Amino acid sequence: MASQNPEINEVIQASGESTLEGATRRAEKQVDELVHVSLSVAVTGETGAGKSTFINVIRGLDDGDNDAAETGVTETTTEPTSYKHPSMENVEFWDLPGIGSPNFKAKNYLKQVQFDRYDFFIIISSERFRENDIKLAKKIQKRKKLFYFVRSKIDNDIRDEAQREQFNEEETLSKIRRNCEENLKGIENPKVFLISSMNLSKFDFGKLVATLMTELPELKRQALLQSVPVSSLALLEEKVRMFKKAVWAVALLSGGVAAAPVPGLSFACDTSILLSFFTRCYYSFGLDDKSLDKLSKRVNKPHLKSLITSPLVLGLASKSAVRLQLSALAGSALVKNLCKLVPGVGNAAAGVISFTLTFTLLKRGLKDLADSARTMLREAGLE
């Protein structure tokens, strides 16, 4: 039965259901999947290939940070070790000992590392892929699981080749790629990506993510997309589209809309859900201080952070917004303050907010965060 409220009708239509009750059930499922679907990525390779550094960078960490994977020129991985994403705990990267290492011989490798718990494998090499790498790929292929080859430290190769006369970067990259593919004998259509962990915005990191987005199941794609660092404007827009699809569901779950009296359709807003959604976007878009500091340093533009003027971004960055326990976030004062963070929304009545205002707040808040991230990326030259 249609409501007289156009926003309610819009979310019912977005849910694919015919009733508000059906839309609410669908919303619960969609938000649960957004937040809780797990993704486990196995990263393996020989000693010194750069797998630990890759795991750190894809989690937005430097090698010396707390909870960073240990790196070194000697074997630092003696058993499968899990590293959770710092802001998306449902996503974890596993640093695996290289196949053929003393305690992980090729014959029993998949059993020892518990093959079935990983969604896909990334096999890393900083030079030629070795015989053991190829053996592992064949074993994974036989068991019909996804795997990808990453040729790391490409920035070092480019720097070395640049010393030669008549250097051409594209030709050098093509040559390295061909050599890798020719080296992977017995692997049908090997997927090779040339990556520098020092600069994910260059070379093939975007192609790796794009490939995963076409080959992973939908819910796993969603988990991956939330967690990977923003390395380009195109990747940001993919993230924005994903979160846009969830706005209607978050709006329904932020309060008891289905039980709200008609015609007012007002309800006590659960602001913890709103804040949780905005915080998830904030970290996924790379707007947190750590991500901005790293980007500023890499592109040598220390003024980047000063370009952020959004009250919503600044509010999320403050201790009072981000670090409060969610159970303490439903008070009327925060409802008012949260609404003030988004220009044009205005104040909410004390502790009670209309569905229309909540829906508007979510849409405008998401746009505000996305626009701030677009500004940062364009100024950093990562279009």
pLDDT in tens, 277-321: 888 999 999 999 989 998 998 899 999 989 988 888 887 887 544
pLDDT at res. 226: 94
Q: How many structural domains compose the chain? A: 2
Q: Are residues 196 and 309 in the same domain?
A: no
Q: Are residues 29 and 51 in the same domain?
A: no
pTM recorded for the entire structure:
0.85
- The one-character DSSP state at 107 is G
1 occurs within a structural domain: no
- Other Cβ atoms closer than 10 A to 90: 16
pLDDT at res. 344: 55
Q: Are residues 339 and 368 in the same domain?
A: yes
State the pairing for strand pair 266-268/146-151: unpaired
CB-based contact 256:44 (threshold 8 Å):
no
Q: Are residues 172 and 283 in the same domain?
A: no
pLDDT band at 191 (very low <50, low <70, confident <90, very high): very high
Q: Are residues 279 and 363 in the same domain?
A: yes
Q: Are residues 15 and 96 in the same domain?
A: no
- Write down which residue in 227, 261, 293 finishes a domain: 227
Per-residue model confidence as pLDDT tens digits over 38-82:
999 999 988 788 888 999 999 988 888 888 888 765 555 578 999
State the pairing for strand pair 266-268/192-194: unpaired
- Write down which residue in 227, 250, 275 finishes a domain: 227
b or e along 185-223 (b: 16 or more beta carbons within 10 Å of the residue's beta carbon)?
eebeebbbbbbbbeebbbbbbbebbeebbeebeeebbbb
Q: Are residues 289 and 157 in the same domain?
A: no
Q: Are residues 174 and 279 in the same domain?
A: no
More confident: 261 or 243: 243
Q: Which of 19-33, 113-127, 230-244, 259-273 has the lowest mean pLDDT?
A: 259-273
Task: Tell me the three state secondary structure of residue 246.
Answer: coil
Range of the domain at 14: 6-35+232-380
Distance (Å, rounded) from C-alpha 69 to C-alpha 78?
12
CB-based contact 217:82 (threshold 8 Å):
no
- Write down which residue in 211, 227, 243 finishes a domain: 227
**The domain that contains 61 carries what CATH number?**
3.40.50.300
Q: Are residues 53 and 193 in the same domain?
A: yes
Q: Are residues 297 and 363 in the same domain?
A: yes
Average pLDDT, whole number, for the chain? 82
Q: Are residues 214 and 167 in the same domain?
A: yes
Q: For the chain, give percent helix, strand, coil, nearest 5.
A: 50, 10, 40
